[in-house]
Amino acid sequence: MKRPTIKDIARESGYSKTAVSFAFNDPSRISDKACQQILETAERLGYIPDPMARNFSLRRHLSIGFLLPQVVQYSLQNPYTMQVILGIGSVCEKYGYTLNLIPPLHKSITEAVRAAAVDGLITMGLQVDMDIVSVMKTRLLPYVTIDGIPHEEMPSVNIDDEKASYSLMKMVLDAGHTKLVIIGLSDDAFATEQNSNSVPANRLAGYKRALGDAGIACQAYQQFVCECTLADGIRIGKQILELADRPSCIVTMSDIVAIGCIQAFKAAGLHVPDDISVVGFDNIDEASCISPALTTVDQPAKEKGRLAAEALFKILNKESLASAHMQIPYTVIKRESLKTLSSIS
Amino acid sequence: MKRPTIKDIARESGYSKTAVSFAFNDPSRISDKACQQILETAERLGYIPDPMARNFSLRRHLSIGFLLPQVVQYSLQNPYTMQVILGIGSVCEKYGYTLNLIPPLHKSITEAVRAAAVDGLITMGLQVDMDIVSVMKTRLLPYVTIDGIPHEEMPSVNIDDEKASYSLMKMVLDAGHTKLVIIGLSDDAFATEQNSNSVPANRLAGYKRALGDAGIACQAYQQFVCECTLADGIRIGKQILELADRPSCIVTMSDIVAIGCIQAFKAAGLHVPDDISVVGFDNIDEASCISPALTTVDQPAKEKGRLAAEALFKILNKESLASAHMQIPYTVIKRESLKTLSSIS
DNA sequence: CTGAAAGCGCTTACAG
DNA sequence: CTGAAAGCGCTTACAG
């Protein structure tokens, strides 16, 4: 039981392979009669041109890849990432491409990039000195990074994380909080080393600048580091509960972590925000529907995906990008999870 | 600026293409010296074997496809579908495959299937007489359907929608509701015609059986049909508000629709469930965190994806399936959105 | 251990 | 309008 090929249709219909190919791709190049006979034969034998052979011959995949920054369980569990994927997906659809989600291969993201059968890649949290980048360059694979470290050779989509974090922390301080815990994010799985310009680093910088401006010593806060998952948020939340000197506010870098903390606090019988405040980052859908609703930074995840994908298609079409480093607006949103202790205006 | 090919490495290293291929795929077939020289040459020239050529030669894609049942904006906006994708994705990762999300091509899902460069497909809501199915058969493309209509030639993963719906409706009736609106789901975009065994049809059958058992006439309820999106839920919610005789409970077939209704009701100043009850279906993450928390049917979406993918890989590996029609358990969950009017026990 | 050659299923420049 | 042939970049059975 084998599928018929173009050769079978040629033989069976009495025309050449060339003619068969034209019947499917450019009927105007052959006579109506030939076209009709060929298509009829194809129908009869159950012939559908092999997409891979076609793509191979045309040197294209009609697919762009989204490199999952972590294992599937983490990446796709994160609503923020999902929103990014939604944005990319809608652009793929528009251009008639598929969206290939690429998990680590044999635990290695670099391996996955070597083997990726796509026309271009969208990645998250990339810095230019990573192995992955050199593989993409070697393969001449166009790419755009979201939440990565902007670099000449690397088109990127970001918000101004430092400023956004500054504003968020300022809101926390203005609400009268002085005993803080900051929960940072570990750099992405494929980071070669901590970089002073990564998203987590920029957010931390923003938090610190706000603290500095408010004249609050760095000793005033403790710092934790966390994977960007609900489970790790819960874990850290429990650790915080054991602190001798309980903070009045937890400043995270991700809603999913903030929600994890809140769950841990609730489970321990604490009331948020009366006993302890928590602020997030991202404004995922859940942020507004949980109770208490999260104070957070709204970053347009879908728009990030959309912009990155549009940029990638521009590159694929050899058009030049208006700007290689796209920065889009954010909004700080005050909701219930941050309690106002006293006005220090 | 062209990428070097195996031929370039052969010429440059002084070995044959065969040797170069072995250096990358089966080093034991050549001498250590040859292997070393070849890999070194490859490194120097920046050679990475072309994945597409490799896959083409090996007659495989190392990718399975998930056929989006609607346009991206709808499909990926639905948390239930996202959970299914998460389940599929984790299995793909395990087997070293990528997960290709396939949107309609030129507005046609059938077109998309013709062009899909994948080893197999997972679909949602398929019935055997659809165009899509015949294309997959013609292409000899293995597939598994989730929430489709079980059929001999079509492996499937489902819950018992009729029974689940019966239980849900029974809970509604037991709570004393008699003035109902049922919001059905339109059959999937690619349904050729309404089928008496589709998921929406089965759920409706379950609802009706419960009504019948309770001796409630069909006149007691009105029926609407809705796209499975938040926006359409809101739209229908508004329509319901304009009904002369307001129902006491809205029975939907999807949490996302239920949430849409609740939003519409809240916006109109109604209180759920005091003024009107709403029940959902799916138990997406949001169902438990919104206020009021949704009474709904918990169906294990992630598990559905996982099972479907495992079955597909079995087929790809020519293993036989223990059973072609997998049915997994559900749970009816009572939460706040359903008000108890009176006990009719 | 090594390499020439056929093959995977298409597309397309070219000649008739 | 039509078709023989080269080419896309690999793999691998086969012979030496």
Which among A1, A93, A98 has CB closest to B100?
A98
**Which of strand C's nucleotides are less than 7 A from any protein C-beta?**
1-13
Task: Name the strand (E) or helix (H) holding A250.
Answer: strand A249-251
Domain count, chain A: 3
Nearest residue of B to residue A285, measured between CA atoms: B286
- In a shared domain, residues B149 and B208: no
For chain A, the distance separating the N- and C-terminal CA atoms, rounded to the nearest angstrom, is 79
Which nucleotide is the nearest neighbour of A22, by CA and C1'?
A: C11
Q: Establish if B340 belongs to a structural domain.
A: no
d(CA A170, CA B87): 40
Which nucleotide is the nearest neighbour of B50, by CA and C1'?
A: D9
Q: Establish if A319 belongs to a structural domain.
A: yes
A101 touches chain B (CB under 8 A): yes
- In a shared domain, residues A169 and A262: yes
Give the distance, in angstroms, between the CA of residue A4 and the centroid of all CA atoms in the same chain.
41
**Cβ within 8 Å, pair B103-A92:** yes
- Overall average pLDDT of the A236-240 stretch: 96
**Cβ within 8 Å, pair A85-B76:** yes
Indicate if CB(B29) is under 7 A from strand C. Answer: yes
**Cβ within 8 Å, pair B101-A106:** no
Q: Establish if B343 belongs to a structural domain.
A: no
pLDDT over 80 at A342, yes or no:
no
B291 touches chain A (CB under 8 A): yes
B116 touches chain A (CB under 8 A): yes
Q: Report the distance from CA of residue A60 to the C1' of nucleotide C9 in Å, as an integer.
A: 15
Which residues of chain B neighbour A48 with C-beta distances below 8 Å? 114, 135, 138-139
| Residue where a domain terminates, one of B35, B58, B81 | B58
Q: Establish if B335 belongs to a structural domain.
A: no
d(CA B160, CA B297): 11
d(CA B160, CA B158): 6
Q: What is the CATH number of the domain that holds A26?
A: 1.10.260.40
What pLDDT is attached to residue A345? 47
- In 3D space, the residue among B289, B283, B306 whose CA is nearest the CA of residue A76 turns out to be B306
**DSSP letter for each residue of A27-67:** GGGS-HHHHHHHHHHHHHHT----HHHHHHHHT--SEEEEE
**Cβ within 8 Å, pair B86-A93:** no
d(CA A9, CA A38): 7
d(CA B261, CA B278): 8
Q: What is the CATH number of the domain that holds A143?
A: 3.40.50.2300
Percent of chain A with pLDDT over 70: 95
A-to-B residue pairs, Cβ atoms closer than 8 angstroms: 136
Which nucleotide is the nearest neighbour of B56, by CA and C1'?
A: C8
Q: Cα B10–B11–B12 angle (5° rounding)?
A: 95
Indicate if CB(A21) is under 7 A from strand C. Answer: yes
Nearest residue of B to residue A136, measured between CA atoms: B48
**Residues facing residue A99 across a β-bridge:** A64, B101
Query: Which of A110-124, A150-164, A180-194 is predicted least confidently?
Result: A180-194
- In a shared domain, residues A290 and A197: yes
Q: Establish if A24 belongs to a structural domain.
A: yes
- In a shared domain, residues A274 and A317: no
What tens digit of pLDDT does each residue of A56-88 get? 999 999 999 999 988 999 899 999 999 999 999
- In a shared domain, residues B73 and B136: yes
**Cβ within 8 Å, pair B286-A291:** no
- In a shared domain, residues A166 and A215: yes
**Cβ within 8 Å, pair B98-A289:** no
- In a shared domain, residues A125 and A211: no
Indicate if CB(A53) is under 7 A from strand C. Answer: yes
d(CA B140, CA B120): 9
- In a shared domain, residues A208 and A251: yes
More confident position, A220 or B50: B50
* pLDDT tens-digit profile, chain B (345 residues): 789 999 999 999 999 999 999 999 999 999 999 999 999 999 999 999 999 999 999 999 999 999 998 899 989 998 999 999 999 999 999 999 999 999 999 999 999 999 999 999 999 988 888 899 999 999 999 999 999 999 988 999 999 999 999 999 999 999 999 899 999 998 764 454 556 788 999 999 999 999 999 887 655 678 899 988 889 999 999 999 999 889 999 999 999 999 999 999 999 999 999 999 999 999 998 898 888 999 999 999 999 999 999 999 999 999 988 889 999 999 999 999 999 987 554
In degrees and rounded to multiples of 5, residue A297 shows phi and psi of -105, 125
B134 touches chain A (CB under 8 A): no
- In a shared domain, residues A147 and A244: no
A84 touches chain B (CB under 8 A): no
Q: Buried b / exposed e across A319-334, counting CB within 10 Å, b at 16+?
A: eeeeebebeeebebbe
Segments forming the whole domain that contains residue B25:
6-58
- In a shared domain, residues B264 and B166: yes
A89 touches chain B (CB under 8 A): yes
**DSSP letter for each residue of B106-143:** TTBHHHHHHH--SSEEEEES--TTSHHHHHHHHTT--E
Which residues of chain A neighbour B62 with C-beta distances below 8 Å? 115, 117
Residues within 8 A of B (CB atoms), A 241-260 only: none
Q: What single-letter amino acid sits at B174?
A: D
- In a shared domain, residues B321 and B202: no
Please tell me which residue lies nearest to nucleotide D8, judged from CA to C1': A57
Which residues of chain B neighbour A101 with C-beta distances below 8 Å? 89, 92, 98-101
Q: Establish if A340 belongs to a structural domain.
A: no
Q: What single-letter amino acid sits at A303?
A: E
Indicate if CB(A29) is under 7 A from strand D. Answer: yes
What tens digit of pLDDT does each residue of A140-159 get? 999 999 999 999 889 999 99
Nearest residue of A to residue B106, measured between CA atoms: A96
Please tell me which residue lies nearest to nucleotide D12, judged from CA to C1': B18
What tens digit of pLDDT does each residue of A263-288 get? 999 999 999 999 999 999 999 988 98
Report field, pTM of the whole predicted structure over 0.95 = no
- In a shared domain, residues A165 and A290: yes
Q: Establish if B338 belongs to a structural domain.
A: no
Q: Establish if A103 belongs to a structural domain.
A: yes
Which nucleotide is the nearest neighbour of B25, by CA and C1'?
A: D11
